[in-house]
Amino acid sequence: MSKMINPMQADVALDRSRVTDHGKGKVEVNAQDLTYRELNLLLRVVCDEGAKHLLLKNVNGQRYIATDLPPVKIDIEGCAGNDLGVFMNGCEITVNSNCQDAVGNTMNAGSIIVHGHSSDIAGFAMRGGKVYIRDNSGYRCGIHMKEYEDKIPVLVVGGVAHDFLGEYMAGGVLLLLNRPSVQGATEFGEMPSDLIPSHHIGTGMHGGVIYLRGRVEPYQLGAEVAPVDFTDKDTETLHHEIDEYCNHFEVSDDERQELKDSEYVKLIPVSHRPYGKMYAS
């Protein structure tokens, strides 16, 4: 038995028949109907045995994928469950479908590329690494993202996101591309397509930067943020992230150029001490 199997996990079934070794470190795992404990234990074991590239088939809702794994490449087929990449430190994940709540929760390094949408609290408290979501994201996207030294997390959403976007944000880069082509008509109701639909954007924000393609009304912004002018460095960051996004999701050259040529709103915190005047002392 692998040295990585903790006796505490002895009650979890380890179904090796789910594993197909394609050689050269590429290992396929059939996740069909596995519990997250069974799946994640299997992943621990195959990584321990030298797998460098995991191909997960038939994933549907299993949680915590890629936590406590060495920095391997992971391709996920199916809908990834909550907390995909929680506390992750270096894996490179691609999801060919949607993912659920808290993708990239408190992640430290690595990347998650989602060919679909994500539900709420995408990128919660992430400190490093990159998350690219092709379509929309739910509530509290990018909430409490941080940064530290060379760790500057990036979260890019191809569509739009719901309320409390970037709430408490303390660092990193949050970019909404507002591509009409990826937005479900039912999702945000009828509104001018250039108007970002989120409210309470950047409320409590005290670090980092939010870029929004389109426009926002002042009432949509939290009291702690304000739009500011672009610098050359902003344009550089923006173009770099647009390129990365477009490469991941095979966006046409025309649209790529359109994304780069569009108007963006840049939001930064008004103060690093938003609540300095709250107290009577």
Partner 1 sequence: MISYSSPEFEVEIKDDLCIRCGACVVNCSFDALEHDEDDDRIVANNRNCVDCRRCAVFCPTLAINIYENGLAFRKHGLWTNRAQREINKQAETGGVLLTSCGNELPSTTHPIYWDHLLLDASQVTNPSIDPLREPMELRTYLGSKPDAIEIDDQGKVKAPNRPSVALETPIMFAAMSFGAISYNVHKSLALAATEAGTLYNTGEGGLHPSLYEYGDNTIVQVASGRYGVFDEYLKAGQMIEIKVGQGAKPGIGGHLPGEKIDAEISLTRMIPEGTDAISPAPHHDVYSIEDLRQLVMSLKEATNYEKLVAVKIAAVHNAAPIASGIARAGADVIVIDGFRGGTGATPTVIRDNVGIPIELALAAVDDRLRQEGIRNQVSVVVSGGIRNSADVAKAIALGADAVYIGTAALIALGCTVCQRCFTGKCAWGLTTQDRQLNKRVNPEEGSERLYNLLRGWSIEIKDILGAMGVNAIESLRGNRLRLRGVGLDEETLKILGVRPAGK
Partner 2 sequence: MSFPKHLSSSWQLHGEKIIAACGLIGFMNRDKSLTDGSDIIKAIANMKERSNGLGGGFAGYGIYPDHADQYAFHLMYMDESARVTTEEFLHEHFSIVAAEIIPTDPTAHVHNPPLLWRYFVDVEAASVVNEDESDYVVRLSLEVNDRIEGAFVSSCGKNMGIFKGVGYPEDVGEFFRLYDYKGYTWLSHGRFPTNTQGWWGGCHPFGLLDWAVVHNGELSSYGTNMRHLEMYDYKCTLMTDTEVVAYTIDLLMRKHGLPIEMVEKVIASPLWEAIDRMPEDERVVTEALRRVYGPLLFNGPFSFIIADSERMIGITDRIRLRPLVVATHGPTYYLSSEEASIREICPEPEQIWMPRGGQAAATELYETAKTTNKEEVVTG
For binding to partner 1 (CB under 8 A), which residues are involved? 4, 6-11, 36-37, 40, 44, 63-64, 67-68, 82-83, 86-87, 89, 101-102, 105-106, 108, 121, 124-125, 127, 140, 143-144, 146-149, 151, 167-168, 170-171, 204, 206-207, 272-281
Cβ distance 135 to 159 under 8 Å? yes
**Toward partner 1, which CB reaches closer, 158 or 172?**
172
Q: How far apart are CA 173 and CA 153, in angstroms?
A: 6
**Toward partner 1, which CB reaches closer, 138 or 214?**
138
**Toward partner 2, which CB reaches closer, 127 or 140?**
140
**Toward partner 2, which CB reaches closer, 164 or 264?**
164
Q: How far apart are CA 139 and CA 127, in angstroms?
A: 19
The region, left, alpha or beta by phi > 0 then psi within -120 to 50, assigned to residue 117 is beta
Other beta carbons less than 10 A from residue 16's beta carbon = 8
- State which amino acid sits at residue 280: A
- State which amino acid sits at residue 80: A
Instruction: Report DSSP letters for 8-32, one per residue.
Output: GGTTS---GGGEEE-STTEEEEE-T
Contacts to partner 2 from residues 230-259, by CB under 8 A: none
Beta strands across the sheet bearing 73-79: 19-21, 26-30, 53-60, 73-79, 89-95, 109-114, 130-133, 154-157, 170-176, 207-213, 264-269, 225-228
Shortest distance, CB of residue 180 to partner 2, whole angstroms?
A: 15
**Toward partner 2, which CB reaches closer, 51 or 221?**
221
> Which H/E stretch holds residue 90?
strand 89-95
Q: Which stretch binds partner 2 (CB under 8 A): 49-57, 106-114, 134-142, 235-243?
A: 134-142
Shortest distance, CB of residue 186 to partner 1, whole angstroms?
A: 24
**φ, ψ of residue 82 in degrees (nearest 5):** -60, 155
Q: Does 187 contact partner 2 by CB under 8 A?
A: yes
Q: How far apart are CA 175 and CA 158, in angstroms?
A: 8
> Which of partner 2, partner 1, none does residue 61 bind (CB under 5 to 8 Å by kind)?
partner 2
Q: Which stretch binds partner 2 (CB under 8 A): 20-28, 96-104, 126-134, 238-246?
A: 96-104
Nearest to 54 by CA among 30, 85, 33: 30
Q: Does 199 contact partner 2 by CB under 8 A?
A: yes
> Which of partner 2, partner 1, none does residue 241 bind (CB under 5 to 8 Å by kind)?
none
Contacts to partner 2 from residues 142-161, by CB under 8 A: none
> Which of partner 2, partner 1, none does residue 184 bind (CB under 5 to 8 Å by kind)?
partner 2
Whole-number CA gyration radius for the chain? 20
User: Which residue in 105, 106, 111, 119 binds partner 2 (CB under 8 A)?
Assistant: 119
Q: Which stretch binds partner 2 (CB under 8 A): 47-55, 79-87, 174-182, 242-250?
A: 79-87
Under the rule (CB under 8 A), what is the footprint of partner 2?
35-36, 60-61, 63, 78-79, 81-82, 98, 100-101, 117, 119-120, 136, 138-139, 162-164, 184, 186-189, 199, 219
